[in-house]
Each structure stands twice: as C-alpha cells, then as structure tokens.
Amino acid sequence: MNASDPQTGDAGQIRALIEQWAEAVRRKDMDGILRHHAPDFIMFDVPPPLQSKGIEAYRDTWPLFFRASPNPPVFDIVDLKITAGAEVAFAIALMRCVLVTQTESSDLDFRLTICFEKIMGQWTFMHEHHSVPAID
C-alpha cells in the first residue's frame, strides 16, 4: 500500500476524515464536526476571532457559520490535495459555501489548510486555516 496514493494508506485515511468532517458540517452534527480534533486544536478563521484556541473555542465558532448558511449548509470540497508523512500531514483544499443574508445569498469560495498529527495511530486534526483572497 502506497501512503502517497490519495485513495489508500495515510492519505486515504486523511481524505476520509476530511470528507466525514465536511458531511458532519452539512448535517450540523457538532459531535461529528469535533470528532478527531485535538483538545488543543487551533484555528485561524476569516470572521473574528482570527484565532480560536482549544476545542471549546472551535465549537463556539460554528453557530455563526450555521446562522449565515442555508438549511442544510453548503460546505463543498472543490479540490483537495493531501501530503502525509509518518507522523504529520497537511491537506490543502479549495472549498465552497453559501452565505445567506436577509435579502440575498451568495457563494463564498475559500481556501483551507488542515494540519494533522498521528496520535496513538489515529490521524488527528491539529490546526485549520481558512482564508479568502484579498479584494481590491
């Protein structure tokens, strides 16, 4: 089994975790969203706060996203690439969600980087970094 093959080995395990996480977001399933995240997880996000430290702070960011999303939320993985070593890995993705205001809805394309650490044989989300391109 080749760990660099995106469908098998470590990369395949990480891909499955990310897909399960995105599906949990679409279901608004907080247990599923938080599953496989480290207690000391750190996220850099687009809306404030810029940094969330710890799993509880990460949990607290989701209600804002859900209030700004249609029901069910749109949270699509457009393009995903994974690089996995023996103990650490990262994934980069282009993502799409939809934001809803009182008068309109609009697509929001964003970039996502996720860092993983293998802890006791299980890939664990350690860090997410969400960003959007700067607008002139």
pLDDT value at residue 135: 81
**Could you state, in order of their start, the residue ranges of all structural domains in the chain?**
9-131
Give the pLDDT means over successive 10-residue stretches in the chain (136 positions): 58 98 98 98 92 97 95 97 97 96 90 98 97 85
Architecture (CATH level 2) of domain 9-131: Roll (3.10)
54 burial level (CB within 10 Å; 0-12, 13-18, 19+):
middle
pLDDT value at residue 7: 57
Q: What is the DSSP string of 12-65?
A: HHHHHHHHHHHHHHHHT-HHHHHTTEEEEEEEE-SSSPSEEESHHHHHHHHHHH
pTM, entire model = 0.90
Q: What is the H or E stretch that residue 66 is in?
A: helix 55-67
pLDDT value at residue 136: 67
